[in-house]
Structure 1
């Protein structure tokens, strides 16, 4: 049996405050018997302060968006995270600095990255592939998905908007992932926002996608998220643990908290896949061409032409 925990919490640019918060959350998870803890996207230094083209630094008439601190995976901050994690498997989001790749200002490329680590090693790292609403202005994009071995099982990671793309989770499932950790900084709608955050359409989508991706691939799904507000963004919280049948085992609600559930990783997968096994029953010969590049240009959304950014 494995106890897993997913965090809903807010993080800012203050790295010292972030480390203190991580230490507290790790201690709480350890007290509750967790073997794996998922922190949100951009937990180290916070996410972007705004989304949409109005943060385009190439336009001098528009304000620059606030940037998170860029950290090297072989740097002291990740080493400090490893020391905090100890024997716990910790998944955490950060802005990765890749000094050997070209980037703005000559300092190297920046990636929106999820890192999985213990006190012994960095077990895996994933760079966000799907970039929403001008995120490319701050980060380079990743190029693929892959699962990796950890002390608690074979897992895969993805970040936020990735969950809207079934192919992303399917790629991890086909690579043998038993559990997917989905780290997010998923905000509420900025147009027609609901007075109650739990009723917001983007809260509903966040929850629906988590459950659908678990059920699509008949695997466990651990979803963390930012909570509260940062810059112009208001986050939906809603960290959760989902089983391979799409049932929510633990949920934080829209505020800060930690969702904790004890799962039978091997037994749960065997039970879910014992009859209709989605990965086995796929028919790539029937829909392979449909998944190729869409011919012709896609229509440009009206809100993109207006340069407003809509969510």
Structure 2
């Protein structure tokens, strides 16, 4: 059994304050015995203030730069996933999520699917790939990536036991209810999380931004979902940390013993 956690928290352009929040979250998670922690999309430098293509851009960080090195130092022996704006080295920006632990970068994913005018601020990633970590084989994705079943299926077929999806998922921009629990985009966020976990019979961690930033109000709803699609822990529509103890190998084996969704695929019928 390992303890895993997913965070709903507000982050902005102040990198020092973002790191202070991250350090507090990691300290609290470590005290609770957490081995894998998922932080939101764009937790290093904040997300876009709007999605009309004219937003102020977050700071662009190098994967081999001092900020990711600082994250590695904070993480220590914990595996931590965190979203950031990646500077590829040639001026190209990507909306990325890095996974660190064991004193190094374990994996990095560039967001493939871009909603609305996000492509005015970021270039698009081109692939999904799982990688090994001290807590199991992990796949990463970002926000809108999870609306596409192929994203999670590609990771599951690459052996991902745990999929971490980090988000800056806002509520509705039209006819928005006062209570985020009644928001149609909250319901969709939750439905995608449960469906992708069940379809692929994987452990699913979903982190999200909280509060407001520019014109966006985020739905929170960080959660842990088991391979049967059941929510083990959630923050609901408020900031916080969802924590659950999971037997990763055992839960996958139980879910896949009789109805093995990956095993029973018929690829020749899908073309």
**Alignment-derived partner of residue 253 in structure 2:** 270
Structure 2 distance, partners of 1:144, 1:229, is: 30
1:120-174 superposed Cα distances (whole Å, 9 cap, x missing partner): 1100000000000100000000000000000000000000001100000000000
SS in 2 for 1:133: coil
When Rg is computed on C-alpha atoms for both structures, the one with the higher figure is 1
Tell me the secondary structure at the aligned position of residue 253 of structure 1.
coil
Distance 2:251 2:89 in 1: 42
Structure 2 unaligned runs (5+)? none
Correspondent of 1:208 among 191, 194, 197: 191
How many angstroms does 1:287 deviate by?
1.2
Which among 66, 76, 88 is matched to residue 98 of structure 1? 88
Give distance in 1, aligned partners of 2:42 and 2:141.
Answer: 13
Helix, strand or coil at the partner of 1:48 = coil
- Equivalent position SS for 1:132: coil
Aligned residues: 271
1:19-45: per-residue Cα shift (whole Å, max 9, x none)?
Answer: 100000000110111000000000000
* Paired position in structure 2 for 1:254: 237
**Does residue 32 of structure 2 align to residue 32 of structure 1?**
yes
Q: CA deviation at 1:196?
A: 0.8
* Matched ranges for 1:184-263 at <5 A: 184-263=167-246
Deviation at 1:110, TM superposition (A): 0.3
Deviation by residue 1:229-255 (Cα, 9 ceiling, x = unmatched): 000000000000000000000000111
Return 5+ residue gaps in structure 1 as ranges: 56-63, 101-107, 289-311
Q: Calculate the TM-score normalised by the size of structure 2.
A: 0.99
Pairwise CA distance, 1:66: 1.2
Aligned residues: CA RMSD: 0.6
Question: What's 1:71 paired with?
Answer: 61
Query: 2:57 matched to 1:81?
Result: no
TM superposition shift of 1:284: 0.9
TM-score (structure 1 length as normaliser)? 0.86
Output the CA distance in 1 between the equivalents of 2:102 and 2:250.
28
Deviation, 1:119, is 4.5
Contact 1:84–1:119 (CA under 8 A) maintained in structure 2: no
- Aligned equivalents of 1:126, 1:220: Cα separation in 2: 18
